[in-house]
């Protein structure tokens, strides 16, 4: 019993560490996308064409780039203005690297959570309807409910943080299109078009082995759990009826 408890605690601790680490990295990317959008919006809402040029072509000074990237050494190296599309491209590259690094762990966490949730729900169903004479029914029910909530929260957290970060990154294209409609300078409009094309070719999406991490995947996971639960309950009812007959 002690070995089982220690193994369970270690397993939960590892799961929490992996999910927390991944969520923190995703949250950091979201914050940097938010800074890009904020600075881009402030530059794009200037009244004159000259300020518009400054806001887009020279939007990020060295200190702005330092604040977004978190690298203070860049301030000594960068002496010219940095285009926002370069920073956006760098953030997308970091995003893809993060998905590649955590792809296996995240996929395993989501897959095991779906399997455990299905099994625990079925066990809870059996506990409530077929094993009412158990010595400690409330303790078992509490343990099952807590485990189910834990695994569901894992799926919700992973997909939720990725969805919010991706939404923040996609706001950039809306901002630059607003700037495009207000700007009359040909060079700036061409630069905005290139920026728009870059974002279209490299969409801001968190993925793992072909699966996009968002609320749609969350819905698919819950649908899968519900489907297998219905099948298992129907099989239990059929077996029970066959025994009684």
> pLDDT, tens digit, for every residue of 28-61?
999 988 888 887 777 554 433 344 343 444 444 4
Contact (CB, 8 A) for 177 and 195: no
* Rounded distance between C-alpha atoms, residue 65 and residue 55, angstroms: 14
Write out the two tokens for 204.
């801001």
Residue 214 or 69, more confident: 214
Return the pLDDT at 190: 80
Closest listed residue to residue 237, CA positions, set 125, 109, 146: 125
* Range in 102-116, 142-156, 190-204, 217-231 with the lowest mean pLDDT: 190-204
Return the pLDDT at 45: 46
The matching CATH number, chosen from 1.20.58, 3.90.640, 3.40.50, 1.10.1060, for 84-238 is 1.20.58
> pLDDT, tens digit, for every residue of 101-131?
998 999 999 999 999 999 999 988 888 877 6
Query: Phi/psi at 82 (nearest 5 deg)?
Result: -110, 130
pLDDT confidence band for 136 (50 / 70 / 90): low
Return the pLDDT at 114: 93
Q: Is the dihedral of CA 78, 81, 86, 91 positive or negative?
A: positive
Contacts of 116 (CB under 8 A, 6+ apart): 147, 151
> pLDDT, tens digit, for every residue of 174-195?
888 887 777 777 777 787 788 8
Return the pLDDT at 245: 63
Return the pLDDT at 47: 39
* Rounded distance between C-alpha atoms, residue 69 and residue 53, angstroms: 23
């Amino acid at each position: 019993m002690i070995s089982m408890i220690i193994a369970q605690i270690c397993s939960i601790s590892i799961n929490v560490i992996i999910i927390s680490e991944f969520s923190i990295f995703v949250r950091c990317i979201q914050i940097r996308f938010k800074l890009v959008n904020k600075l881009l919006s402030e530059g794009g809402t200037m009244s004159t064409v000259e300020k518009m040029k400054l806001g887009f072509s020279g939007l990020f000074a060295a200190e702005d780039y330092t604040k977004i990237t978190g690298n203070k050494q860049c301030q000594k190296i960068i002496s010219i203005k940095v285009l926002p599309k370069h920073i956006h491209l760098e953030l997308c590259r970091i995003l893809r690297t993060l998905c590649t690094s955590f792809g296996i762990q995240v996929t395993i966490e989501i897959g095991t959570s779906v399997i455990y949730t299905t099994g625990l729900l079925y066990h809870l169903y059996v506990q409530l309807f077929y094993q009412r004479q158990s010595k400690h029914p409330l303790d078992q029910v509490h343990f099952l409910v807590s485990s189910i909530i834990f695994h569901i929260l894992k799926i919700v957290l992973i997909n939720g943080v990725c969805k919010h970060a991706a939404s923040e990154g996609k706001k950039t294209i809306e901002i630059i299109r607003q700037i495009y409609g207000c700007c009359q300078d040909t060079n700036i409009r061409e630069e905005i078009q290139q920026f728009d094309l870059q974002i279209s070719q490299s969409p801001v999406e968190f993925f793992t082995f072909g699966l996009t991490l968002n609320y749609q995947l969350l819905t698919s996971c819950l649908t899968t759990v519900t489907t297998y639960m219905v099948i298992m309950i129907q099989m239990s009812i059929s077996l029970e009826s066959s025994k009684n007959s």
